[in-house]
Chains A and B, each alone.
Chain A
Amino acid sequence: MTAIAAATADVVVVGGGIIGCAIVWQLAQRLPRTARIVLIDRGPIAGATSGSCMGHLMVTPDDAQEYAFSHASVQLWRELQDQQGGFDYNPTGALYLADDPADIALFANLQAQFVACGDRAEILDQQQLRELEPGLAHDLPGALFYPGDGVVLPMTACGAMLRAAQTAGPRVDVLPYTPLTSVLREGDRITGVVTPTGPISSPNIVLACGVWTPEVGALAGLPKLPIVPRAGNLAITAHHASPIRTQLLEISYLRFAHGAATVDPTLIGADQGGHAVNMQPQSLGGCLIGSTRQFRGMNRELNHELLHRALLRAARYAPGLLDLPIVRTWVGLRPFSLDKHPLIGPWPLLRGLWIAAGHEGLGISLAPITGQLIAQQMLGLPCSIDHRPYLPARVVA
């Protein structure tokens, strides 16, 4: 569809989701003006998971490493807002909710984790919660408020990153509807990619293909990478029809989303799926409602049963939702990495091949830092956080 503007490049990024776009953005800030970056995607930009997800920028204080990783990334999102804007950035903070005593007890734990990381979070009583979010059910006992989180619109954020890259200095060519069909190599090094509109020679290619990374990796001769899709059903209300103003999520979300998978994720049909409420205010006043999780391969059909349960739960927290119109529902596929950490860095057995994938339900939050780690490693610069836990070398068994 688009003619290839650059048949040679310094880096070809494959995949125009949030991860690929963040890599282009971070590379463009560091490469010289004479450099060329090409981004290719087989569909439109943001046409896959990054265009069918929520946009919670989430700081996760599980441990010092995770905190540093997610916190640095959320800071970079703020920079993109200052630099570029145009993606409905809204630093609402996050409200963690619960309605059963066991989960309510978790407020204090999570608060302690934030404090241990040198940050803060506040436990709100019933009255304080009602002042912050008058639309929530009045019987809720309280909530934990963490001020550092925010919300973005991921699909327009992809464009904001690319526009920031295009004005940074190096030449940046964005080629939607240009699939990677094979990888060119000489011995143990990458020399380029092939697309239906022609080859592009390049000493570096970055695979940022989300749930398709194993499939695209196979084109480069890689063994099956340990990333599988994890489906999520979403619903969104009409504009000016949101019962809430803050990013909300059930605290059980942490256990459910970040806990160990209770079934074999690679066995399709084994997972009945589950849900924990995640509700997100949108810039034009709508409300995005998630979130379910189920391993069932690439299937993108709506799971009515799961969505039904998630909506019921959402209405339990925000009863006003019942009367508001739902405009659309859909399914997105999270790229779940089997050891729960994304793969970010060079592929050790093939020089010039880089991987950045497997962010599961946090790819939006973690995209900027992922881009930064790739750029820093590629240019031999010191990394802004410890990059070792994410190196793909760990899966070369």
Chain B
Amino acid sequence: MIAIEHLVKYFNRRGVNEVIALSGIDLTIERGEFITVIGSNGAGKSTLLNCLAGTFRHDEGRIVINGKDISPWPEYRRARFIGRVFQNPLTGTCASLTIEQNMALAFRRGARRGLSFGVKAAYRREFMERLAMLGLGLEHRLKNAVGLLSGGQRQALTMLMASLVQPELLLLDEHTAALDPKTARKILDLTRCIVSEEHLTTLMVTHNMKQALAFGSRLLMLHNGRVILDVKEDEKRSLTKDDLLSRFYDMQGEEVESDRMLLT
């Protein structure tokens, strides 16, 4: 179980450009929950994920995973619990290393790294089996540099790598936004498949309301650094796009007109 208690995050605190990106988020995430997160630009979605991963330090509040307050932990230490897929398909993998080298790095996520060979012969069979799941033929390209792959292929690989060592929490920040629609659908199918098979606790940020409704067991809407909607299970299943939109109008009034959420 993950408890987020009154999380507050400022940027440029006490400066002229002070922004409060998270203004007191309270959230309890049960093991195995698949949560979709929506909200307008600047709502604080990425900031929330970055604070959980430790990329940013929050200013107030606590993050408790399995009873442990991990607030003071640096990003690399939290990585033991957290798998991530980024919006930019280039961020999750190393271009100059091969597919198998990238996977071997992910295979030791959170573990000590020593002087034994990075890519062990015993790993290869498992890597090939996993890669075959993608249906992209990558299982025959273990020794290709990842820089040779397309954005979609790299994102698929990142998705696989994030779940190679089972994470307590999987963070997906608009991980299909930079892909063409067909590839995006493939990555989403893969996401659904991996998350349900491994029962991963997941936070998935998306700008697509249909996706947010179709995926997961719980839906959060963020606005101005606050959770303004939190629906689960049956209630979520009965939710429609119109419900979301009207909720949105309620909160924002006219300012929503120019928002790109309306377009999707």
Q: Do A and B interact?
A: no
List chain A positions with a Cβ less than 8 A from chain B.
none
